[in-house]
């Protein structure tokens, strides 16, 4: 992700419908359309966006657009005890049948293709964000203040996302669709598949944030990407404290207590070069607090 030639120039308010290839570069017709792993769609140059603004992205549709996805067959060596690594099987890729109508994904046995494990369909985008600060061009395998490969299940339709803008036009990217994924991306992949994505962009001019933020119907959330994992917690909780103070006018003590007694954390990934932790506050808790502080 970085200062590449824009794929499309869009304006605030525009509604975009696009597609993404899977992590090995295959599209909805199982045709290879990208040579490198983890290809992204974009960048979208957002007219008017400039350094120091916030880019708003409302995800309206995030849905697989074919019926077969794949995943790694084994848990990754860095997410089990070091002494357990030698017991892991060799890594291979397995196919999952995606039933968009029945809303399930089903693992097919490697030998006889019989169904082996069925789980609810739960689509999400593994990778999303803007061009990094300072003109950097950074691999789509990692993440930072600009977003990136966070593998967080909350990046899905219904969510509104906020990214700090570090360059003219923001240069928005997205991709790496997963039909579903466990917390932590323990096997180093979700159920990888091509997607159709619909989103609307907007800009908050002069609004400066430090890490990706978002909200859905129930929560506001902040995202930290770093190693070790507690550093990701620190980034996310600090950004939430900033948000509560700046935009909800809640003082530092009350913000601290709301986090202390109300924070909900979700693990994005503990596999990629930067780990991801997400700090959430319930909107209902926030409303309780605001109502009682006239």
Q: Within 230-249, which residues bind its own copies (CB under 8 A)?
A: 230-231, 233-235, 237-238, 241
Stretch that binds its own copies, among 55-63, 154-162, 176-184, 200-208 (CB under 8 A): 176-184
In whole angstroms, how close is the CB of 110 to its own copies at the nearest point? Answer: 8
CB closer to its own copies out of 140 and 194: 140
Q: Which of 93, 117, 218, 249 binds its own copies (CB under 8 A)?
A: 117
Question: Does residue number 113 form part of the binding site for its own copies (CB under 8 A)?
Answer: no
CB closer to its own copies out of 214 and 268: 268
Sign of CA dihedral 63, 101, 269, 238: positive
**Around Cβ 142, how many Cβ atoms within 10 Å?**
16
CB closer to its own copies out of 12 and 77: 77
Question: Does residue number 134 form part of the binding site for its own copies (CB under 8 A)?
Answer: yes
d(Cα 294, Cα 203) in Å, to the nearest integer? Answer: 30
CB closer to its own copies out of 56 and 145: 145
In whole angstroms, how close is the CB of 122 to its own copies at the nearest point? Answer: 9
Q: What are the Cα distances from residue 154, in Å, to 29, 44, 87, 113, 182?
A: 27, 22, 32, 31, 12
Which 145-174 positions form the footprint of its own copies (CB under 8 A)? none
The edge-to-edge listing of strands for the beta sheet with 115-120 is 68-72, 93-99, 104-108, 115-120
Sequence-separated (6 or more) residues with CB below 8 Å from residue 109: 115, 116
Question: Does residue number 111 form part of the binding site for its own copies (CB under 8 A)?
Answer: no
Which 38-97 positions form the footprint of its own copies (CB under 8 A)? 71-89, 94
CB closer to its own copies out of 14 and 215: 215
Q: What are the Cα distances from residue 172, in Å, to 13, 48, 124, 216?
A: 15, 13, 17, 20
Residue 183, token pair as written in the block: 């917390």
d(Cα 95, Cα 170) in Å, to the nearest integer? Answer: 36
């Amino acid at each position: 992700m970085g200062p590449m030639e824009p794929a499309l120039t869009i304006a605030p308010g525009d509604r975009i419908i696009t597609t993404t290839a899977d992590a090995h570069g295959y599209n909805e017709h199982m045709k290879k359309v990208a040579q490198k792993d983890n290809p992204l769609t974009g960048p979208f140059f957002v007219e008017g966006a400039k350094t120091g603004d916030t880019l708003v992205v409302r995800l309206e549709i995030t849905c697989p657009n074919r019926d077969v996805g794949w995943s790694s067959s084994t848990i990754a060596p860095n997410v089990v005890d070091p002494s357990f690594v030698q017991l892991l099987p060799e890594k291979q890729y397995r196919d999952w049948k995606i039933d968009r109508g029945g809303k399930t994904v089903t693992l097919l046995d490697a030998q006889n293709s019989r169904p082996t494990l069925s789980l609810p369909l739960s689509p999400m985008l593994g990778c999303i964000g803007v061009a990094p600060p300072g003109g950097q061009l950074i691999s789509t395998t990692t993440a930072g203040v600009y977003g990136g490969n966070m593998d967080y299940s909350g990046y899905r339709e219904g969510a509104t996302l906020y990214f700090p803008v570090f360059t003219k036009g923001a240069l928005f990217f997205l991709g790496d669709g997963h039909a579903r994924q466990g917390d932590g991306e323990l096997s180093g992949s979700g159920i990888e598949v091509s997607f159709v994505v619909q989103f609307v962009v907007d800009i908050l001019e002069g609004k400066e944030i430090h890490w990706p933020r978002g909200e859905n119907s129930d929560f506001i959330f902040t995202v930290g990407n770093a190693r070790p994992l507690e550093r990701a917690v620190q980034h996310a909780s600090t950004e939430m404290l900033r948000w509560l103070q700046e935009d909800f006018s809640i003082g530092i003590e009350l913000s601290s207590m709301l986090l202390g007694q109300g924070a909900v954390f979700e693990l994005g990934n503990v596999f990629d070069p930067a780990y991801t932790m997400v700090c959430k506050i319930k909107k209902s808790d926030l409303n309780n607090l605001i109502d009682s502080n006239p």
